[in-house]
Amino acid sequence: MDRKSLRGSLLLLLGSVIWGAAFVAQRVGMDHMGPYTFNGIRMLLAWLVMVPVTRIFEAKNKKAPDYTEPDHREQRLAGVLCGALLFIATSLQQMGLVTTTAGKAGFITALYVVLVPVAAWLLFRKNPGKVIWLGVAIAVFSLWLLCMPAGGGFTLQGGDLLVLGCAVCFTFQILCVDHYAPRVSGVRLARDEFFVTGGLSMLIALATETITWEGVRDALIPILYAGVMSGAVGYTLQVLGQRDTDPTVASILMCLEAVFATLTGALLLGEKMKAREAAGCILMFSAVILAQLSPVISSIRRNGRSHR
């Protein structure tokens, strides 16, 4: 693995840690306000944080000898498209969380780990290879161990279908970011995503929900974490990390949020980790390692065939 790929993987891994700890904030925040209000405020807060951050990054990047100014039209288009997909995905997830369990929502959302390579193959005929497919299969099984109760059946109800729609939208958002991240400014793309998502969410919130200062005050801590850390930091890490990472490998790294949600619950809330959850964590990390070693394994196999 080259240095750029390693850097991209580490950024996505850090993003997964942040997202894993954000599930509680999303649930608690909706105790005091509607899903569109919560999403609107946290995403606009993320946008406000990213405005000065973008200026700092841009000033630093312009000093580099190989700096080239991205096409402004393509930059705006990337922000609108990725932001619209992020808006639909996060809205479906927040609405689904009202009526489904966090564990089932976590499992269904993370199914984008399967949908990303399938969509990439159907749309672009981009086959990630047998090793990656094996990693995807291991990741799905580990998600089942992590998120679903032992002996429990799996039936889709109203909230579950909304979260399934969220997984589909996240799939296309990942592919959209993968397409634009190498061609435009990553920090500008993250900033514009937040503005589009937050603006659309607030428009619907103003039309359909009751917004009170008391609700904002009571949900302030979840809003701050979801806006600054899960929003501004987490999604910026996604954009910057995906720039140098295969989208299927990126999806496996990002679904590690289910692992870190389980680990942070055990460390911070004293929740006991069951044996199946520990096995799920180990298997998920194995899937990530397998995905990272995929180029090496493929190279060894090619070299082996060439020497025959």
pLDDT tens for each residue of 157-177: 677 788 888 989 998 998 998
Distance in angstroms (rounded) separating the CA atoms of residues 11 and 285: 16
Give the mean pLDDT of 234-244. 85
What is the model's pLDDT at position 133?
Answer: 81
Kindly report which listed range (89-103, 212-226, 261-275, 293-307) carries the lowest average pLDDT score.
Answer: 293-307
Q: Write the CA distances from 135 to 138, 276, 290, integer angstroms.
A: 5, 19, 6
Q: How is residue 269 written in tokens? A: 């809330």
Q: What is the C-alpha radius of gyration for the chain, rounded to an integer number of angstroms?
A: 19
201 pLDDT more than 90: yes
Amino acid at 295: P
- For Cα atoms 141, 144, 150, give the angle at the middle one, nearest 5 degrees: 125
For residues 50 and 179, the answer to whether their CB atoms sit within 8 Å is: no
Phi and psi, residue 69, nearest 5°: -70, 125
Kindly report which listed range (16-20, 250-254, 262-266, 292-296) carries the lowest average pLDDT score.
Answer: 292-296
What is the model's pLDDT at position 192?
Answer: 95
High-pLDDT (> 70) share of the chain, %: 84
Who wins on pLDDT, 132 or 220? 220
Helix, strand or coil for residue 156? coil
Residue of 148, 149, 58, 61 whose CA lies nearest to 111: 148
4 pLDDT more than 90: no
Who wins on pLDDT, 208 or 268? 208
What is the model's pLDDT at position 215?
Answer: 92
Give the mean pLDDT of 176-191. 89
